[in-house]
Structure 1
Amino acid sequence: MRGGLILKLLAWGLALSLVVLPIVGVLNGWFAGERWPVRSLQVEAEYNHVSAEEIRAAVANHVGNGFFATKLDELQAAVAALPWVEKAEARKHWPDMILLRVTELQPVARWGANKLISADSRIFAAPGAENMQGLPRLAGPDDALANVIAFYASAQKILAGSGMTVNGVELSERGSWKLALSNGSELELGREQPEQRLQRFINVYPRLLAGHTGNFEKVDLRYSNGFAIKWPEAPASVTPPAVKKPQPAAPEPAARGVT
């Protein structure tokens, strides 16, 4: 009696294995991948910085075992690891298609020498970052990114209406602030109360322009009761060399006859 029960249980276990094992094998890509292959990849992307070839190359390593065995989380991670990719979302569409949506990082500023800042305040490295033009240049310790962005926005607001715009912000390791303006001028603000010092300068800036043509080169605002300003040196006047008047040629002596 007991032996018969054991045999029945073994039979049921074998039957169940024969049913489950093929399913597990297909889902894990152990076999029959060629019977249910991924035949189509539909990609939705902007293609500003990421090419279709790069995306398809990243996907290719994850669809070879068939439609059912394709692991979407691994596929998404492979595409998201590409430069310029913010995120990737993939889903399967029966019977043989993978739908993929790729969102690119949108740079809003440069960070240091060769990195960028995305619209969601993420620091990232990407090919050609050091050559991108038209973006404000921000710099500082990576863990101070939020402070640098906040000060950039604050400085832009203070300078509004002055005719000057901020082109760059730098925070040194010691906590000292420096502004670069779009006209090539620089502002040294120091470590303490940089917004107040900048506002103080803007309050007197219209009077400073009196008697000056062109932009200042640099302003040092690190003084407690004033600031130092450097104007470009006026080009030295050049006296044109004197032009000598041509002298009349001396008359030639008369020729003498030969006897």
Structure 2
Amino acid sequence: MIGRLSLGVMLFGLLAGGYWLSTQWAESPPLPIQTVRFDGELAHLRQEDLRAAVLPNLGGGLLGSDVLSIRQSLEALAWVQQASVRRVWPDALEVHIVEQRPIAQWGEGALLNAQARVFRPRRLPEGLPALAGPPSSAERVLTRFQEIRALLQPVDIQVIGLKLDERRAWTVVLDNGGLIRLGRQDTEERLARFIAAWPQVEDLPEQMLSVADLRYPNGFALLWQPEETVDDT
């Protein structure tokens, strides 16, 4: 009987001690975090946004803070492509940030990175190529834009935008505001025919191209500024 009583008292003592430790941990966790260090090449992220994402997750101290939640909170920020969080004894966290690197504007209020992932920051930087297309077409449009830009560069035609409309027709935007209408079908052949003929077109009296309509079976039509442009039909 004495042995059982001692064991019961010991078990109660362990439970009570565990409860006391848990309440003390919740009120004042051991090893409180004193420093959060950020590193990475950051051009667009603001310090206040990083702090706001991290601070709510630091209540558990060095050992009790959920680094996964911290990482997820950071990666929820539009300009964060990837984050990693590491505990540093005795009172610090090290956070490495990979910032989004936009290579094009997508639609009206979004950007694309090199992996064709769409992200939506509060403000958009200027001077990026302008791409647009139906939902889930970002990768296709980005790839086609890069191909068309590379094809037209040797003939000194500078491409700054590309649109894929709801009917799956392509329109190329040039740096002078001109357009190349490729349509939906045989776009590679149409563009190749245009590129082959362009050196002869360049020999014409100097004019600024307004629209090159390549949607003809055996040729194309050119409109020059300030001639009135045609609708995409």
- TM-score bucket (shorter structure): 0.7 to 0.9
Match of 1:81 among 40, 51, 76: 76
Conserved in 2, the CA contact under 8 Å of 1:154 and 1:195? no
Give, in angstroms, the shift of residue 14 of structure 1: 2.6
* Structure 1 stretches lacking a partner, 5+ long: 235-259
* Structure 2 stretches lacking a partner, 5+ long: 228-233
**Separation of aligned partners in 1, 2:193 and 2:21:** 74
1:88/1:23 Cα in 2 relative to 1: closer, same or farther (>3 Å)? Answer: farther
Give, in angstroms, the shift of residue 9 of structure 1: 5.1
**Separation of aligned partners in 2, 1:211 and 1:67:** 72
Give, in angstroms, the shift of residue 191 of structure 1: 0.4
**Separation of aligned partners in 2, 1:6 and 1:137:** 79
The number of residue pairs the alignment matches comes to 227
Report the aligned-residue RMSD: 2.2
Give, in angstroms, the shift of residue 106 of structure 1: 0.6
Identity %: 30
**Residue 117 (structure 2) aligns with:** 122
**Separation of aligned partners in 2, 1:91 and 1:14:** 37
Match of 2:85 among 90, 93, 99: 90
Conserved in 2, the CA contact under 8 Å of 1:105 and 1:119? no
1:145 aligns with 2:138: yes
Deviations 1:194-247 (A, max 9, x none): 12111111111111223320322101111112211112249xxxxxxxxxxxxx
SS at match of 2:222: strand
Listed as ranges, the matches of 1:1-259 within 5 Å are 7=5, 10-18=8-16, 20-21=18-19, 24=22, 29-33=25-29, 35-129=30-124, 132-233=125-226
**Separation of aligned partners in 2, 1:164 and 1:226:** 19
1:25/1:71 Cα in 2 relative to 1: closer, same or farther (>3 Å)? Answer: farther
Conserved in 1, the CA contact under 8 Å of 2:210 and 2:226? no
Deviations 1:12-52 (A, max 9, x none): 533443554456556xx42332x532111111133311122
Conserved in 1, the CA contact under 8 Å of 2:102 and 2:111? yes
**Separation of aligned partners in 1, 2:2 and 2:167:** 83
Structure number with the higher helix fraction is: 2
1:18/1:221 Cα in 2 relative to 1: closer, same or farther (>3 Å)? Answer: same
Give, in angstroms, the shift of residue 109 of structure 1: 0.5
1:91 maps to amino acid: R
**Separation of aligned partners in 2, 1:74 and 1:23:** 24
**Residue 231 (structure 2) aligns with:** none
TM-score by length of 2: 0.87
**Separation of aligned partners in 2, 1:109 and 1:81:** 20
**Separation of aligned partners in 1, 2:62 and 2:78:** 27
SS at match of 1:14: helix
**Separation of aligned partners in 1, 2:46 and 2:226:** 50
TM-score by length of 1: 0.79
Conserved in 1, the CA contact under 8 Å of 2:182 and 2:191? yes
**Separation of aligned partners in 1, 2:187 and 2:4:** 84
The worse-fitting range, judged by mean Cα deviation, of 207-216 and 72-81 is: 207-216
1:59/1:194 Cα in 2 relative to 1: closer, same or farther (>3 Å)? Answer: same
